[in-house]
Structure formats: C-alpha cells, structure tokens
Amino acid sequence: MAYQTVTMARMDSPRFTTPSFDRRAWPMGGRLDYWSAPDGWPIRRYQLGDGTRGRMLVLGGRGDMIEKYLEVVHHWAERGWAVTTFDWRGQGGSGRLTDDPMTGHIGDFADWIRDLKALAADWRAEGDGPYAMVAHSMGGHLLLRALAEGMPAPDAAVTVAPMLDVHSAPLPRWLAVAVARAMLCLGQGARQAWTQKEGSERQRRIRQKRLTHDPDRYADELWWRDHSRDIALGPPSWTWVSQALESTRALAESEALARLAVPLLILATRADQLVSTPAIRRVAARIPGARLHVYGREAAHEILRELDPVRLDALRRIDAFLDEMAA
C-alpha cells in the first residue's frame, strides 16, 4: 500500500533532557510517513531501527500518539529491532472521526481490526523476522482480538496493561453497559462520555496518578500535546465506550482464546484504574502458555512510562521473553 513521507523537524525540548534520550525530540534516523488503509484512510506511522535483531510492531492505547512511546521505541531500536509504530485511525496524527477534534471516536472496533490486519501484513512483507508485537492497553485488546480472528501470529507477543475489560467503577459493569446503550439511543454516540479536567494542578495530578507515578513522563505527554495540537485527544465518545464494553465481553467469551498459538507475555498491575486486572487474569488463564506478571501499587496503568524501577524491570522482562521466544 502507498505511503506519503513527511519530513520531521527536530523540536527543542528545554525542560527535560537526559544524557541518554531526549523524550521531547524525535530520535535521529527515524522515518515518519503515512500508510494507506484499505479504504484509503491515512494512518500516521513511524519506523526506527536497522532490524538486525528482527522486526517489531508497537501498538499504542486509546488516546495515545506515537510521541508518547518514542523512549521505548528507541530502546528496542537500540537492541537491533526495526520498530514500527502508528496512530490508530481517529487519534494522534491519523485524523478524527467526528467534528470535535478532542473526542476519541470509532464507529466499530472492527474498523481498527481491519486496519491492524492490513498494516501488519504490509509490515511483515517489508523484511525478515523474527517478528514481535508489543501492545499497550486498548492496543493489547485489539491485538488479541485480531489474533483470535485469524491474523497471522508473530513469533512472540507482549501485552502491557491490556484492556480486556473496562474498569467501570464505581458503576457495576451491567449499569455501565445500560448507560452507554441509553446514550446511543438518545443520539449521543459521538459526544464525549466524560470530561477530562486538566485546568488546575490538582486536576492534572489526579489524572497523572491514574497513568503513572512519574510526573516528568506525564509532563512529556502534555508538552507534546501543547506543541502539536493536532495530535491531542480528550475523552472517548459514548460509541467508543459501548464498543469497548461489547468487544471486551465478546473476546472474553470467545472459544478462540484457547486456540491461540503465540508465545505471549502479559504485564499488568493490581493498581490499574483504567482496565480490569481481574479480567486480565481470567483471559490469561485461558490462553495456552501465556505468562502473566502483575505489579503492585508501585505501578499505574502506563507501565512502560512509569518511574524507572518499574519501567526498567518491565523492559528487562520483555527483552528476556523476546530473546527466549523470538530468537
């Protein structure tokens, strides 16, 4: 499929620079372009690394953009992986599906599955393996669903805090489903399901703690959003909420989970306030040979953007798993 190359300008990052990696600048040597989905939709894509170790596809979560994961992309590229990552249709630099650019919307999760299957097929054709896929949150759900629906499996897969059910507390799940369906019946499907308050330091601190204990990495996300407003995204739509509840339930009940033939490592945390850790445990138990490691209160949802003791431990676990399973 065709793609359009985009020239990347290096951005200054005066606030935070580490000796090893500047999280507020694009790594040198990478390629940012647009891959065309089967229906022609432009999907923003980034590639980094020479591929002496193999090829890796990194899938972000809901509301994410490529820039949030440049640090880990650089880590795996340094280990010899040719890393490809992208923005899901409707978020990041891949356009929007409603008139409100801050609303995270999708009409049907099946659209994302079609995009993933087609992109992964092109990704495989671009070079030799071993092939690995690493997916965070919503990306983890979409990866497992795509595999359950017949996408060719990589040599190894990793899901980090996968969205295998939505953390709906304080509402019980049945009530969250009922509310979402009612909003769709009222014609509110494209409207934001909640507000994302970040107007005060206290509000930003509350959101940060749900994502990561690292205030600097959280500030990096805000910095990128402020400097590239076209990639910023707010809360999901009611249709997204309804689709997430339906898709995770269907996957949890799918008999295909027991037939998955892919070496799989799952990282999760008991303190997750966005996805359901009990659901992760249940699904992991049904996938043959799946390995599960659950962190405690030291880790919030964004494990790969946590404070270094957690983040580096997670990277060591992932790297050791890939060295074993995708040699």
Distances, alpha carbon 282 to alpha carbons 57, 77, 195, 278, in Å:
25, 33, 31, 6
* Domain residue ranges in the chain: 27-325
CB 85 within 8 A of CB 73: yes
Average pLDDT, the chain: 93
In this prediction, residue 197 carries a pLDDT of 72
Mean pLDDT computed over 294-319: 98
Report the pLDDT value the prediction gives residue 263, as an integer from 0 to 100: 98
294: enclosing H helix or E strand: strand 291-295
The confidence score (pLDDT) of residue 248 equals 98
Q: Is the pLDDT of residue 15 over 70?
A: no
- Is the pLDDT assigned to residue 18 strictly greater than 50? no
Separation CA 220–CA 113 (nearest Å): 29
Measured CA to CA, the distance from residue 154 to residue 326 in angstroms comes to 9
Q: How confident is the model at residue 201 (pLDDT cuts 50, 70, 90)?
A: confident
pLDDT tens figures, 251-297: 999 999 999 999 999 999 999 999 999 999 999 999 999 999 999 99
**Per-residue pLDDT averaged across 182-192, rounded?**
97
Instruction: Please check the confidence at residue 10 and state whether its pLDDT lies above 80.
Output: no
**The residue type at 18:** T
The pLDDT value recorded for residue 99 is 95
At 200, the pLDDT band (50, 70, 90 cuts) reads: confident
Band (20; pLDDT cuts 50, 70, 90): confident
pLDDT value at 308 more than 70:
yes
The torsion angles phi and psi of 291, rounded to 5 degrees, stand at -105, 135
- Could you read off the pLDDT of 60-110 as tens digits, one per residue? 999 999 999 999 999 999 999 999 999 999 999 999 999 999 999 999 999
Mean pLDDT on 140-145: 98
DSSP per residue, 141-197 = HHHHHHHHTTPPP-SEEEEES--SSB--TTS-HHHHHHHHHHHHHTT-TTSBSS---
CA gap 161, 64 in Å, rounded:
14
- Give the whole-angstrom CA distance, residue 211 versus residue 191: 23
Read off the pLDDT of each residue in 16-32 and give the average, rounded to a whole number.
Answer: 82
Residue 202 confidence class, pLDDT cut points 50, 70, 90: confident
CA–CA distance from 165 to each of 134, 235, 245, 262, 324 (Å)?
19, 17, 7, 21, 29
- Per-residue pLDDT, 96: 97
Question: Would you state the pLDDT for residue 31?
Answer: 98
pLDDT tier for residue 244 given thresholds of 50, 70 and 90: very high
Average pLDDT over residues 314-321: 98
Q: Put the strands of the sheet holding 54-59 in their side by side order.
A: 3-6, 31-36, 42-48, 81-86, 54-59, 131-136, 156-160, 264-269, 291-295
Q: What is the pLDDT of residue 16?
A: 36
The fraction of the chain above a pLDDT of 70, given in percent, is 94
CA separation for the pair 258, 254 (Å, rounded): 8
* CATH architecture assigned to 27-325: 3-Layer(aba) Sandwich (3.40)
